[in-house]
Each structure stands twice: as structure tokens, then as C-alpha cells.
């Protein structure tokens, strides 16, 4: 056991205890919600010793069914007990879970029944499986929150429906300490960046079990993944000049994961590395942002204006290059932003200098409008992230030169600030995302009260009364169906 003190983004001993296991560290000390079926669990435990082995399993399942009806409990977070992953929990699967509990079968017969990953299936976990059977594993739209203290990485989920029930970071929910996430269907694709250098696929219908984890090359520092189809995707590698083509539905041994590469060195600055970052697929075209930073400078400063590589996803060839108005196309958006046949690109330029903004690219012509649509001067600082609500309402996280960070609402058409919703010292606001209910989710890493904050986008008011504690400090958020 080791205790770490937090300076900036590190954990303070008074807030959490950090433990390490096999090279990965996660924080304890943040209270998780109590299990909602303690009475049912105690009653079920008494049953396990009350009947002869031949009758235990049948009686156990029957009583758990009754208890699941009797006990007031929250909706199932995942499809606990769905051994075959088909979205339904059958009586046979419940019998398997009970058999594991009684020691008559191994956990390998139904790994998803073991929700906490301790190689055992407890009575509580059997009751959860019964709940999944009763609810037919109905979906619960959730926010998937990447969490990290930059020593260890994990993730949490938040129900979109009030009261926004939280399933916080746990030691079993391990991802890299520097990671980003993308959604495709029920799968979460975690891009584990520098020093992990792999794509990790989590199944939201199987308690976020890792379905696949494949390397993209040591030291390549992947930044994004974009999908052309269920069997073809692209991965940007920040430290390399070759864009990777992968199979997102590869075999567990990753033998068929890498399908090829696309050389982008011809679009790089003088150091030969184009510093590829965010992407988006539109029809049969892949758009790749190139930051063109100088690898020979300590802070990796811009060496030239940024660009967008346009790739035909049928032939995997570069068919066009869009030269941008500004330097360093960078933001925390989930891939490049497309709205109304326009590509919206945030260009940070040099941090602390009012030299960037948001540029719009016409996807019909693959050409810009001749300048920034919204400038950093309009919003008062570097644009860290932005989301579009409609033609006259958008939100941005803005980093100011006084070392503060703000969340502002602005009118993108007139390029004017409408409201300032949050202003904090330090660079603690990192990511904003808009859900399908018109709510803005904001990651706030303030070391005194870090957590997720939720706002009504139209009314420009905060819904949460205090940041929602998700365990480790939140880094970014995507939404599960």
C-alpha cells in the first residue's frame, strides 16, 4: 500500500488512498453507492446452507426471482449474467451463475456474472443477474467518463436520467492513464495513448469487459480512431508519418487487426512527421487533421499552418489536401466536428497568443471560407473544446492568459459571447459534450471538488448542485446508447 499526495492533478492523501497492483495504481477512499439489495443478499445467503445440494440451485434461482421483485433497486447498470452476450439473460444462465456461486462450476463459464472481477460470483451478483433477466437487459443511456490522475486510468458511467446514478471508477475498470474514448454501437473504443500505444475495446453490454486490446506499435502515441465500417477503421499515430488501417472487429489474438498503412509524410513539415490528430469519416472520405509541429522544439511548437488530409476510404489514397488558415488544429472534440455539410476545425495556434480560432470547411468543395469564422479574440483566449447547439448557440472551453479557464456560451453566427457559465483558476476544464437531451456535460478537474457538471444548454443553467464524484478526476466524456 502506498499513499500519494496530490500536487495539481495528483491525489492528496486526505482525499484518497492509492494502491498499486502489477504496475497499475488506482485510488480508494471515495465512497461508492451502497448495494441496493442487502436484505435480499442476507436472505439468499441463508438459503445456500439450508437445502441439500440437489435442490439448492432450483430453490436459489426461485427465491432470487421473488427477492428481485420485492426489493427496491435501481435499474441494472449492465447486462449482468448475460453469459453469451446476446442481450438477454435466460434461466439457464441464472442456473450457471448459481452453480458458480455454489462452487459447482468455474467462473470461466460466465465471466460477466463476476461483476467485480474477483474470480467469484457472490449472492449480490446473482441477484444482479436476476435483475437483468427481469429487465431483459434494457438499455440505460449513460455517459462514459474517462477518469485519470495521470498515474492510473479508469472510467465511470453516469445515468443520463435524473438522479444521474453513478457507477464510479474501480480497480477493475482499468485503462491507460492517458486515454481517450470513442463509441460505435455498444462498444467503447479506448485509445490508450503514449507508453500504452494500443486500442482497447470495451463491451458495454458485458459489464465493460475488454473484448479486444491490440497494439498500434510501440511509441506511436495513437490519438484517434475513425470508422469506415464494422470491419475497417483508421488510427492516427502522432509520432509516426503512417496512418494505420485496422480491423476494429479483429480476433482476440489481434492476428488480423492491422490491415495496412497510409503514408502521410508528404504532407508533413520539415521534420517529416505530420503530427496527425483528430479525424472524421463523411461518406467515402476520411478527413485527418495534421498539426505540423516541430519535433525538435521542447514544447513542440507549430512549424507551419495546419492541414487536413482527405483520403478515399475505398482506395485508401490521399485525394486532396486542405491548407488551413491557422496553426495547430487541436481541440478536445470527439473527432472533427461536422454540421450542415461543413467541417468545423478549432485551430489553437500558439498557446497564450491570440492567433487561432474556429474555421469552417465546405465539404462539397473541400475548401475553407477564407479565414476564421470565430476567432480566439472573439472568445477571449485559446479554444480548448467546443460544441454546437444550433446556428446561434454554441459552447466553448476557453483558456485565458491569466491562467484561468472558462465555459462560455456564444453565438457562432455573430461571434459574440452570450454568457459565462463557469470561470475557475488553473487549466481544470478540459472537455464538454452535448447529449441527445440538450444537456452539456463538463469535466471539471478542480483539485478541491473535481467531478462532472451538467448544464441545460438552452437555458444556460447548471443542473448539478455540485460536481458529480466519479472516483478519479474526469478527463473526457462520450455517450452510450
Residues 6 or more apart whose CB falls under 8 angstroms from that of 247 comprise: 231, 232, 233, 256, 257, 258, 259
Is the pLDDT score of 122 beyond 90? no
Chain segment 180-239, per-residue pLDDT in tens = 999 999 899 999 999 999 999 999 988 999 999 999 999 999 999 999 999 999 999 999
**pLDDT value of residue 138:** 60
Lowest mean pLDDT among 33-47, 305-319, 349-363, 408-422: 33-47
Cis peptide before 147 (omega within 30 of 0): no
Query: CB of 392 within 8 A of CB of 413?
Result: yes
Q: What is the dihedral of CA 401, 406, 410, 412, to 10 degrees?
A: 60
Distance in angstroms (rounded) separating the CA atoms of residues 335 and 316: 19
The pLDDT value given to residue 447: 87
Q: For residue 90, give the 3-state DSSP assignment.
A: coil
Taking residues 457-464, what's their average pLDDT? 97
Residue pair 59/51 in contact (Cβ under 8 Å)? The answer is yes
- The CA distance from 366 to 70, in Å, is 60
- pLDDT band, residue 410 (cuts 50/70/90): very high
Higher pLDDT, 285 or 51: 285
74 pLDDT more than 80: no
Q: What is the pLDDT of residue 371?
A: 96
Per-residue pLDDT at 75 exceeds 60: no
Report helix, strand or coil for 444: strand
Instruction: Name the percent of the chain in helix, strand, coil, to the closest 5.
Output: 15, 40, 45
Task: Check residues 35 and 156 and name the one with the higher pLDDT.
Answer: 156
HSE-up (13 A, CA, CB side) for residue 17? 6
| Interatomic CA distance for residues 219 and 126, integer angstroms | 43
**Averaging pLDDT over each range in 53-62, 102-111, 219-228, which range is the top one?**
219-228
Average pLDDT across the chain, whole number = 85
With 60 as the cut, is the pLDDT of residue 405 above it?
A: yes
Specify whether the CB–CB gap between 269 and 293 falls below 8 A.
yes
Query: Over 60: is that where the pLDDT of 477 sits?
Result: yes
**Closest Cα to residue 334, out of 388, 400, 285, 264?**
388
* Mean pLDDT, residues 432-458: 96
pLDDT in tens, 138-180: 667 999 999 999 999 999 999 999 899 999 999 889 999 999 9
Distance from C-alpha of 132 to C-alpha of 456, rounded to nearest angstrom = 31
Q: Quick one: how far is CA 408 from the chain centroid?
A: 23
* pLDDT higher than threshold 50 for residue 311: yes
Which one-letter DSSP state was computed for residue 436?
Answer: T
pLDDT at 420 over 60: yes
Position 33 pLDDT exceeds 80: no
What is the predicted pLDDT for the residue at 28?
31
**What's this model's pTM, rounded to 2 decimal places?**
0.74
Task: Place 379 in a pLDDT band, splitting at 50, 70 and 90.
Answer: very high
| CA 353 – CA 346 distance, rounded (Å) | 14
What are the angstrom distances between the C-alpha of 194 and each of 43, 161, 198, 254? 49, 35, 9, 19
Grade residue 64 by pLDDT with cuts at 50, 70 and 90. low
What is the rounded distance in angstroms from the CA atom of residue 466 to the CA atom of residue 481? 25
| Mean pLDDT to the nearest integer, 59-72 | 48
The span from the CA of 333 to the CA of 429, in Å, is: 13
Residue 129's pLDDT band, with cuts at 50, 70 and 90, is confident
CA 243 to the chain's CA centroid:
22
- The C-alpha atoms of residue 89 and residue 150 are separated, in whole angstroms, by 37
**Residue pLDDT, tens place only, 383-396:** 999 999 999 999 99
CB hemisphere CA count around 426 (13 angstroms): 10
Percent of the chain at pLDDT exceeding 90: 71
How many whole angstroms separate alpha carbon 143 and alpha carbon 84?
A: 25
Query: pLDDT tens digits, residue range 247-293?
Result: 999 999 999 999 999 999 999 999 999 999 999 999 999 999 999 99
Whether residue 70 is predicted with pLDDT greater than 50 in this model: the reply is no
Which residue is listed with cell 482527405? 310
What torsion, rounded to 10 degrees, do the Cα atoms 449, 452, 456, 457 define?
110
| β-strand partners of 79 | none
Question: Looking at residue 85, what is its pLDDT?
Answer: 78
User: Residue 36: pLDDT above 70?
Assistant: no
3-state class (DSSP) for residue 212: strand
Check pLDDT > 80 for residue 62: no
Amino acid at each position: 500500500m502506498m499513499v500519494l499526495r496530490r500536487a495539481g492533478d495528483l491525489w492528496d492523501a486526505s482525499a484518497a488512498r492509492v494502491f498499486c497492483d502489477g504496475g497499475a495504481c488506482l485510488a480508494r477512499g471515495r465512497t461508492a453507492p451502497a448495494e441496493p439489495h442487502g436484505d435480499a443478499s442476507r436472505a439468499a445467503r441463508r438459503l445456500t446452507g439450508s437445502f441439500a445440494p440437489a435442490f439448492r440451485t432450483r430453490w436459489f434461482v426461485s427465491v432470487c426471482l421473488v427477492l428481485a421483485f420485492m426489493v427496491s433497486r435501481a435499474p441494472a447498470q449492465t447486462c449482468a449474467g448475460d453469459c453469451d452476450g446476446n442481450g438477454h439473460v435466460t434461466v439457464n444462465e441464472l442456473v450457471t451463475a448459481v452453480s458458480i456461486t455454489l462452487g459447482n462450476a468455474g467462473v470461466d463459464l460466465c465471466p460477466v456474472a463476476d461483476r467485480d472481477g474477483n474470480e467469484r460470483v457472490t449472492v449480490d451478483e446473482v441477484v444482479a443477474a436476476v435483475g437483468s433477466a427481469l429487465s431483459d437487459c434494457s438499455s440505460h443511456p449513460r455517459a462514459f467518463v474517462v477518469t485519470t490522475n495521470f498515474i492510473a486510468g479508469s472510467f465511470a458511467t453516469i445515468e443520463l436520467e435524473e438522479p444521474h446514478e453513478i457507477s464510479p471508477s474501480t480497480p477493475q475498470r482499468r485503462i491507460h492513464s492517458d486515454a481517450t474514448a470513442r463509441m460505435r454501437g455498444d462498444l467503447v473504443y479506448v485509445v490508450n495513448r503514449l507508453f500504452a500505444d494500443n486500442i482497447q475495446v470495451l463491451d458495454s453490454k458485458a459489464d465493460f469487459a475488454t473484448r479486444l486490446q491490440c497494439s498500434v506499435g510501440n511509441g506511436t502515441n495513437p490519438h484517434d480512431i475513425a470508422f469506415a465500417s464494422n470491419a475497417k477503421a483508421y488510427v492516427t499515430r502522432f509520432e509516426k508519418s503512417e496512418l494505420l488501417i485496422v480491423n476494429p472487429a479483429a480476433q482476440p489474438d489481434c492476428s488480423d487487426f492491422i490491415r495496412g498503412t497510409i503514408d502521410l509524410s508528404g504532407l508533413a513539415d520539415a521534420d517529416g512527421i505530420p503530427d496527425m490528430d483528430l479525424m472524421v469519416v463523411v461518406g467515402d472520405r476520411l478527413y485527418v487533421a495534421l498539426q505540423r509541429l516541430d519535433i525538435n522544439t521542447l514544447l513542440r511548437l507549430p512549424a507551419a499552418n495546419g492541414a487536413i488530409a482527405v483520403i478515399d476510404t475505398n482506395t485508401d489514397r490521399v485525394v486532396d489536401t486542405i491548407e488551413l488558415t491557422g496553426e495547430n488544429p487541436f481541440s478536445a472534440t470527439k473527432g472533427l466536428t461536422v454540421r450542415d455539410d461543413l467541417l468545423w476545425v478549432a485551430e489553437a495556434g500558439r498557446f497564450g497568443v491570440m492567433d487561432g480560432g474556429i474555421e469552417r470547411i465546405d465539404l462539397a468543395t473541400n475548401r475553407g471560407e477564407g479565414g476564421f469564422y470565430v476567432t480566439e479574440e472573439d472568445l477571449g483566449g485559446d479554444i480548448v473544446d467546443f460544441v454546437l447547439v444550433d446556428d446561434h448557440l454554441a459552447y466553448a472551453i476557453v483558456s485565458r492568459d491569466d491562467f484561468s479557464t472558462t465555459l462560455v456560451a456564444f453565438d457562432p453566427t455573430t461571434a459574440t459571447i452570450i454568457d459565462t457559465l463557469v470561470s475557475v483558476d488553473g487549466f481544470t476544464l478540459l472537455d464538454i459534450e452535448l447529449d441527445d437531451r440538450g444537456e452539456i456535460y463538463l469535466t471539471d478537474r478542480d483539485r478541491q471538488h473535481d467531478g462532472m457538471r451538467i448544464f441545460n444548454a438552452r437555458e444556460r443553467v447548471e443542473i448539478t448542485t455540485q460536481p458529480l464524484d466519479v472516483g478519479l478526476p474526469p478527463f473526457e466524456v462520450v455517450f452510450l446508447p
